[in-house]
Structure formats: C-alpha cells, structure tokens
Amino acid sequence: MVVHLYKVSKDELKQKIAEDFDIPLDKINDEFLKFLEKFIESKGSSTEYLKKEIEVPAVQLPPDVQPLLVPKIYYFINVKKTTWMAIGLLLDIFITKGVATAFLSSLGIIGQSIAKLNLRNGEVCCYYQALFLKRDGVKKFTENQIFKKVYKKTCFNPNFNCIYNNHGICSISAKDLKRVIKNLKDKSVISKTEDNKWRVEL
C-alpha cells in the first residue's frame, strides 16, 4: 500500500498530515516539511519520492503594468504506507512533544539512519521507547528498561505488522530485544556508554 499525493499545495499537504496523524495544524511548520523531504530522500528508494514543483501563474496584463506574481509550490508524493506511518511517529515524538528543533538540527546521519529502521522487527518501537526515556530525563538506559516497557504490553502500533505482535500484545523475548538493540546501534541511532548502558544519539 502507498500514499500517493498528486499536485497538492503546501496547505493541503499540511492538512493531510494533520488529519492522518491527529496533530494540530499549527504544529506542522515549514521546517517539518523540509524534514519530510530529507527523510524520504534519505531512504534511497527508487519508488518513494517527494517532489516539489514551483508554478508561476500566467497573467495577461497591459505592457505598461508590472505584474506581482506569487509563485505556487505544489508537492508530488509517493511513499509506502509504512514510511508515511514512520513519519507520523517522528512527528508525534519531535513536534507534539516539543523537541522538534533538536532533531531538525541533526538530520545528517541520524535522519538517514532513522529512515532505515525496520517497522516489522521491533526497531521503531524500541527506539520510540528509548526516546520516551530520554524525554523523561533518563540519559542512559538498559535493555531491561526497554524490555519492561514493551513485553506483554499492548502493541504500540498494530499497523506496523510487527512479528512480535501476538494478538495485540508484544511477545518479544529478552534475546530478541538484545538483537534489536544491536541493530539500533549498527544503524547509529543509539550508542553504548562506558558503563555498558545505552543512550540515544540525538
């Protein structure tokens, strides 16, 4: 399944995001739209894209009149449903929670790494929980802290079709979570501390 938007205006795009993710429209600013572009671009997919087209309206005026032309920007978007949902996840974390600026200033490798997170093997969910811990003042966390937040809890997002979703309840084992944590480290979104704990790379 894909999300396909053909020639929508900036306001229409913001409205679509607001409606899909139940986010106040005024929280979706131009900086987030720039992030949206970089996020999709960083996936490096041949089928997923966000393109912008600037259109200058054609106006017929007398030769001695200087027209004041306001160009319009239109967006053309084609992304997988899972990518669109990941964008909503990040929107919820970084804008609704009020820490958008910190993330938008560190798009580099972090933005590219987040784009590679796997929705179906628990990576996005575990990363989300790590971000919640950081937001709550936990600068360094253990695998067990993440495990307690997800194991036998209601599935964070059933639309991810995660392999650990057992009838709506997370069934990830401690061993599998250890592997997920390693994947997050390999993708440079978390790092190991000197005292063998983990921290979010933001």
Q: Is 115:84 a contact under the CB 8 Å cutoff?
A: no
> For the structural domain made of 117-202, what CATH number should be given?
1.10.10
pLDDT value at position 59?
A: 62
pLDDT value at position 80?
A: 86
190 DSSP 8-state letter: E
- How far apart, in whole angstroms, are the C-alpha atoms of residue 126 and residue 11? 33
As annotated, the residues of the chain forming the CATH 1.10.10 domain(s) are: 117-202
Helices (H), 1-116: 10-21, 30-42, 81-91, 100-104, 108-115
pLDDT value at position 116?
A: 78
pTM of the model: 0.68
Q: What is the pLDDT along the chain (202 residues), one digit of tens a residue?
A: 788 999 999 999 999 988 888 778 888 888 888 888 888 887 777 889 999 888 876 666 566 655 556 678 899 999 988 788 778 777 766 666 544 444 444 455 566 677 778 888 999 889 888 888 887 888 899 999 999 999 999 987 777 789 999 999 999 999 999 999 999 999 888 999 999 999 987 5
pLDDT value at position 71?
A: 77
